[in-house]
Chains A and B, each alone.
Chain A
Amino acid sequence: GAVVSQHPSRVICKSGTSVKIECRSLDFQATTMFWYRQFPKQSLMLMATSNEGSKATYEQGVEKDKFLINHASLTLSTLTVTSAHPEDSSFYICSAQRGGRAETQYFGPGTRLLVL
């Protein structure tokens, strides 16, 4: 299957700082990537759809100025959590779309963010 990586896998930061999470499709090109967030014992919630070369589409209730998404190339999308606060602590997972079918969406291993 296709491989999607995320970096870092875990990050601890102080409140008020910004954190960048990278999502890479290692063996295919992805014009579309998705960012999800998962709170403990809850479902993966879609935050935004990242399209290469254009602005991301954010889901209702997700602050675009807080969660900056950049999809500068066909293999890399980044999520920057700006001025992080403890309530931003969560598990962030990206996925990359390969092909047109829903099952060809491949997920990264996730990034655990802890904001102190």
Chain B
Amino acid sequence: DQQVKQNSPSLSVQEGRISILNCDYTNSMFDYFLWYKKYPAEGPTFLISISSIKDKNEDGRFTVFLNKSAKHLSLHIVPSQPGDSAVYFCAASASDTGRRALTFGSGTRLQVQP
């Protein structure tokens, strides 16, 4: 039973346009969400996060939106650059358990075309 789902395995966008990556979750105990970027042969690297008390967090070209009622979050990258091409993982954690272990989605491969 996947508690964090990324239903789009891949996404292709043109350089300069917006990339929108989506993530859904089912566990209502999740209260902290993160996005990671992963290049081949490397581990995931942290990109941006959002707490459940917020609905938006912005960091440069990256913005994460959280819709708690829909149990949905999205990552917006604008403008997209060829160097953004990677696999993006959505992850969630439940702080009430005191655990920092993460539950990951299956990832979305983003390709930004020059």
Chain B residue with minimal CB distance to A101?
Answer: B100
Cβ of B43 and Cβ of A103 under 8 Å apart? no
Which chain A residues have a beta carbon within 8 Å of chain B's beta carbons? 1, 4, 6, 9, 32, 34, 36, 41-46, 49, 93, 95, 97, 100-103, 105-110
Q: Tell me the smallest distance from the CB of B41 to a CB of chain A, in Å.
A: 6
Chain B interfacial positions (CB closer than 8 Å to A): 2, 4, 6, 9, 32, 34, 36, 41-46, 49, 89, 91, 93, 95, 99-107
**Contact with B46, one of A41, A46, A103 (Cβ below 8 angstroms):** A103
Additional A-B contact list (13), CB under 8 Å, known A93-B44, A102-B95, A102-B102:
A1-B45, A41-B106, A43-B2, A43-B106, A93-B43, A101-B100, A103-B49, A105-B46, A107-B43, A107-B44, A109-B41, A109-B42, A109-B43
